[in-house]
Chain A
Amino acid sequence: MMINVLSHPAVPLVLGSLLIFLIRSKSNLLSFISLTLSIIVLLFIMPHENAFYIEKGIQINYFAYSKLSFLFCLVFLIIGIIGKIFSIYRDSYKEKAMILLYIASAIFVIFSGDFITLYIFWEIMAITSTFIIWSSNSDDSSAAGQRYLIMHLFGGLILLLGIIGLYLNTNDLQIRMLSLDNWYTWSILIGLLLNAGAPPFSQWLPDAYPEGSYSSTVFLSAYTTKTSVFVLISTFAGNHILIAIGIYMIIYGIIYALLENDIRRILSYSIVNQVGFMIVGIGIGTELSINGTAAHAFAHILYKGLLLMSAGSVLYMINKRKCTDVGGLYKVMPITAICGIIGALAISAFPLTSGFISKSMIVDASYREGLEFVWLMLLVGSAGVFLHAGIKFPWFVFFHNDKKIKTEDPPFFMKTAMIIMSFLCIIIGIIPESLYTLLPYKIDFIPYTGNHIISQLHLLLFSGLAFFVSLKYLERTLTITLDFDWFYRNKIKYIYAITNFMSRISSNLMKMIVLNNIKNRFNVLESYLMKQFTISTMLTLILITFSIVLLFNIS
């Protein structure tokens, strides 16, 4: 069946972004109107059924409703509208239009029911997010955006290869549970995981996101990885290989974040870490763990947005992005500091925050399945999150050595956005039912039991103790840590040297073997001709040849 095109929640955003682009509007009114319209469409107008048409024998399922897609769309629009409040002082019309288009393409992806629609908007998402990175107009962002785009187009090609294989082999492109017994399902999995920041390509995320402007990183952090999580839930839930990948991401994020100096890069590494928890949840694949993954994605988008907003406020006010340049800001930026600490507590799953009620579902799902090793690794992860994001971020930014920086809290709307986000993080933590009713499966889980609270508090407090015991070894230095990207970054000079070398050798060889040979022969021929014939004989020869050709043609 078909549905009215205006009842798709992404359509107001597309129209809004086109309008902003056409009239080059610097005001935020159009963004707010289109986001509000989109929320109205989602809540009241959108039909709760599937819509498709059939083109050349392929069913194009451009609108597939499920409780899960509703949940993701809702959180995408919430972070969209609060992020817009935060970025109200930014006046680049290109960034505004691209952000709306980026949100719209992410919503199209989560409502797509077949791989063709998914692939098209997947690529649009990659391109629009690259433009958002580029819109901060710095040399670093331009280079990082290029690397980001190349990585995502590469991932998109792998995904496309898998989709083509899927079509040729099964003749069916509906999004459904796939089993990993063919090259094309592996190819789809790799394409999807690349967007989630899985190894070995996790580096694109902390490389590109911190190069966005102070406000655009809030948007970048929310959509790409979470759409990937969404699609993985509906295609590969229950594949145990995802558990291993997720655990790797959890540990990777912690270790690199511990060594990192750039504030927003620390937070980007912790995105990899948090998405790792979600990937583990998908890998376990029970109803509880899928519920946990969805809830964790919802909570994560909110508290990560909050953390990046407080880091963005620091960047906006004092234009410093490294831990070594800041410190002691709690005196001059108290509201930013409090909101940042709430975000940090939420990401470390402190009781009474949103992280606690979502992450404990994934951890519980692992022991209900009897996966003891996974459970132990998730506990290491939970403790490590507190170590690298829960304490390290607020400690080095807002406390530590007081650098006596003269500044104040950011302007009104930026503060408002942070305060709204903090409230959301705490309300979800205090009233978990508000989130649990939105989850895809029926839920029988009580987060606030004595055991949960005590074990979590113990883990976190002693993780904090470990941080302060080894504080001397965690002092920030002006360094970066090499990653897999070493294999492709700044390798152009080597490629240039190699090609130069190769071309020199080959040209020398050519000269030696072929060219000289031909040249000599030609010389010989030339001199022979010159010696033997005068010009008049040559002309006669040519005339004779012509006449012969003509004669043959006439007959």
Chain B
Amino acid sequence: MSNRKKIIYGLIILVNISPYLYSFYDFEKVHFNIDNMIGFYPIYGFISCLGLIIIAKMFAVFFKKEDTYYDD
């Protein structure tokens, strides 16, 4: 099994465990209304990272150049 597969399987297990972590989570001490929601942190973390990657890819369309761009 390649490294990548091992890590992906590991992550799938973690994703499945993560809801049980909520037994340690105190909903009395939440900050704003938004993190009162179950699954706020996982969903927010996942979506914001995908968003960052998409923004980076959009940047790449315009600003990515060969790494010899400045040497002439």
Contacts and interface: CB of A to CB of B under 8 A. Distances in A.
Contacts of B64: 259, 477, 479-482
B31 A259 contact: no
Given A460-B45, A465-B46, A255 B52 contact: yes
Interface string A463-484: 1111111110110011111110
Given A451-B26, A480-B69, A482-B63, A462 B46 contact: yes
Given A466-B46, A478-B66, A367 B25 contact: no
A259 B52 contact: no
A383 B49 contact: yes
A301 to B, nearest CB: 25
Contacts of A474: 53
A379 B48 contact: yes
Given A383-B45, A383-B48, A466-B49, A261 B67 contact: yes
B3 A384 contact: no
Interface string B15-31: 10010011011100111
Contacts of B52: 251, 254-255, 258, 380, 384, 387
A492 to B, nearest CB: 11
Contact of B11 (A375, A464, A480, A490): A464
Contacts of A427: none
Given A461-B18, A473-B57, A479 B66 contact: yes
Interface string B41-53: 1111110111111
B49 A480 contact: no
Contacts of A251: 52
A478 B4 contact: no
Nearest to B66: A479
Nearest to B33: A372
Contacts of B69: 480, 482
A317 B30 CA distance: 49
Given A384-B49, A463-B45, A481-B64, A453 B24 contact: yes
Contacts of A464: 11
A470 B56 contact: no
Judged by DSSP, the binding face of A is helix
A458 B4 contact: no
Interface residues of B, number: 44
A478 B67 contact: yes
B11 A468 contact: yes
Contacts, number: 139
Contacts of B72: 490
A471 B7 CA distance: 12
Interface string A368-379: 000010011001
Interface string A251-276: 10011001101000000000000000
B1 interface: no
Given A259-B56, A480-B69, A458 B63 contact: no
A459 interface: yes
Contacts of B18: 457-458, 461-462
Contact of B24 (A258, A450, A479): A450
Nearest to A324: B67
Contacts of A527: none
Contacts of B59: 255, 259, 481
B72 to A, nearest CB: 7
Contacts of B4: 468, 471
B22 A454 contact: yes
Contact of A454 (B24, B51, B57): B24
B11 A481 contact: no
A464 B32 CA distance: 25
Contacts of B34: 372, 376
A136 to B, nearest CB: 17
Contacts of A473: 53, 57
A489 interface: yes
A461 B14 contact: yes
B1 to A, nearest CB: 14
A455 B35 contact: yes
A479 B15 contact: no
Contacts of A387: 49, 52-53
Nearest to B59: A255
A399 interface: yes
Contacts of A454: 21-22, 24-25, 41
A255 B70 contact: no
Contacts of B56: 254-255, 258-259
A58 to B, nearest CB: 45
Nearest to A364: B31
Interface in A225-249: none
A490 B70 contact: yes
Contact of B31 (A375, A463, A489): A375
Contacts of B22: 454
A171 B37 CA distance: 55
A254 B53 CA distance: 9
A254 B51 CA distance: 12
Contacts of B43: 462
16 contacts: A259-B64, A372-B34, A375-B31, A400-B3, A451-B29, A455-B25, A458-B21, A461-B14, A463-B45, A463-B48, A463-B49, A466-B49, A468-B11, A469-B50, A477-B64, A479-B66
Given A251-B52, A384-B49, A489-B70, 20 more contacts: A259-B60, A380-B52, A387-B53, A451-B29, A454-B41, A455-B41, A457-B18, A459-B41, A459-B45, A462-B45, A463-B48, A464-B11, A466-B46, A466-B53, A468-B11, A479-B60, A479-B64, A481-B64, A482-B69, A483-B63
- A-B residue pairs, 7 tightest by C-beta: A466-B49, A458-B41, A459-B45, A450-B24, A462-B45, A462-B46, A482-B63
